[in-house]
Structure 1
């Protein structure tokens, strides 16, 4: 009998950057066994430090039902993809690059032993179909898109491709809404899914306004916070997302729809080229 999503206990995560660490944390906090794969020992050490800091903050604020050490004990961070062989669900959270993701899914297909295992991507914009068709199990491949910061934001987008089985989607829903305690929405396999297809053009519009000299970054953001009750302004949000990610999602949207509102402004491209990526690099539209 096929397991339900609530029975998924052995979770794999590929990548322990900002998103990968958040996905790892919510799974471990839900009592699940998590193996995380990073590309190098240095990246693995940085990922562990990121997790330790986040969990310690949660413990200090009384948001954990157990100690940070107990949660960390359910997490293994390694550099060998072979460690994912026994996983029931693997979530890919690497760089937003189609070639890199396609190559990874080819590897995962050969490594993950359970034929019923779900191979999921946390991509913000890359079509799930392109990842599913390079495997021998496209019915088991889908998007499970978390939002940053993962431990805080409750939304998860579920994105089946045309080939994903209904059973896979329902297992994913059971997993997301069961042990993880999050809320899922259903999305078609189109670039940007629901949230980013609406959000990214809005952010790009704010960047164009700033780029043109129409208003300062501070005034643009204050206008949306104080005048539209947004929790933070669009430029501060872009810094939080990461300007490289904003650019990558915009390019995927433009590639799919060819609509001018999805085109990345020149300023965004120059900032990414300069390494001004927002919070994660210490400087974007603001300094951190």
Structure 2
């Protein structure tokens, strides 16, 4: 189960990947972040360091905890450095071809056949990514929300091929190790949150286009009338 997962890999060090890496490191896990090259890897490290610094300045994290988290992080430009990882979270650009390429490569690189390969996609089919590997039963959606260190929710998305053991492992990991609130979704377009959000956005666009209300009015209505702090 998740208590045995101590070595994490994150592919992609952008806003989401850096956030995932940060919460894993803060949870005491040995975390390796892989970017396309050394320059991007350094930028990813700077991104995590800046986020940790903000948490310290806002009184959300002790300085010592931030420093300890940084010592648990390794940044690399070589995917081969993830070979011994027990859980890898893919967080590259939201492009099916790019993600499929990553999963096909990870399938060849990751040594442990029981390792879990997770995707942070917000909408792409998990099954499609799993089918790029020889271990589709170990592929699952693990969708975090931005900013990852702040927002408590994680969607666990199971494809038709995802095994019950894989699902249980990642749900326990996200909840018990990372301290997230977990909801499960089937492998459908938008999963749970985005499937709910998109109709709101489309309605807002139509209202603004038709002159029914101003964009500012719609935003304020969502903030104060629906208690959506981001509008």
Matched, 1:52 2:49: yes
Q: CA deviation at 1:62?
A: 2.6
Task: Give 2:27's aligned residue.
Answer: 30
Find the residue that maps to 2:179 and give its secondary structure: coil
Of the structure 1 ranges 180-189 and 42-51, higher mean CA displacement relative to structure 2 is found in 42-51
Task: Give 1:6's aligned residue.
Answer: 3
For 1:200 and 1:30, how far apart are their aligned partners in 2? 32
TM-score by length of 2: 0.95
For 1:125 and 1:212, how far apart are their aligned partners in 2? 29
Task: Give 1:126's aligned residue.
Answer: 124
Question: Alpha-carbon deviations, 1:218-258, whole Å to 9, x = none?
Answer: 2210121122222121xxxxxxxxxxxxxxxxxxxxxxxxx
Instruction: Tell me if structure 1 keeps the 8 A contact 2:119–2:141.
Output: yes
For 1:215 and 1:206, how far apart are their aligned partners in 2? 9
Q: Which of 79, 93, 96 is the matching residue for 1:95?
A: 93
Task: Give 2:201's aligned residue.
Answer: 203
Question: Alpha-carbon deviations, 1:113-135, whole Å to 9, x = none?
Answer: 00000000000011111011111
Matched, 1:62 2:62: no
Of the structure 1 ranges 202-211 and 149-158, higher mean CA displacement relative to structure 2 is found in 202-211
Q: CA deviation at 1:70?
A: 1.7
For 2:226 and 2:173, how far apart are their aligned partners in 1? 34
Find the residue that maps to 1:178 and give its secondary structure: helix
TM-score by length of 1: 0.77
For 1:214 and 1:45, how far apart are their aligned partners in 2? 47
Matched, 1:146 2:144: yes
Task: Give 2:230's aligned residue.
Answer: 232
Instruction: Tell me if structure 1 keeps the 8 A contact 2:26–2:65.
Output: no
Superposed CA RMSD in Å reads 1.3
For 1:164 and 1:76, how far apart are their aligned partners in 2? 29
Task: Give 2:114's aligned residue.
Answer: 116
Find the residue that maps to 1:91 and give its secondary structure: strand
Q: CA deviation at 1:213?
A: 4.2
For 1:70 and 1:166, how far apart are their aligned partners in 2? 34
Question: Alpha-carbon deviations, 1:181-226, whole Å to 9, x = none?
Answer: 1111111011111111111221232233334444332221012112
Task: Give 1:43's aligned residue.
Answer: 40
- Structure whose residues are more often strand by fraction: 2
In structure 1, list runs of 5 or more residues that go unmatched: 234-288
Q: CA deviation at 1:153?
A: 1.0
For 2:35 and 2:204, how far apart are their aligned partners in 1? 34
In structure 2, list runs of 5 or more residues that go unmatched: none
Task: Give 1:156's aligned residue.
Answer: 154
Matched, 1:177 2:175: yes
Question: How many corresponding residue pairs?
Answer: 230
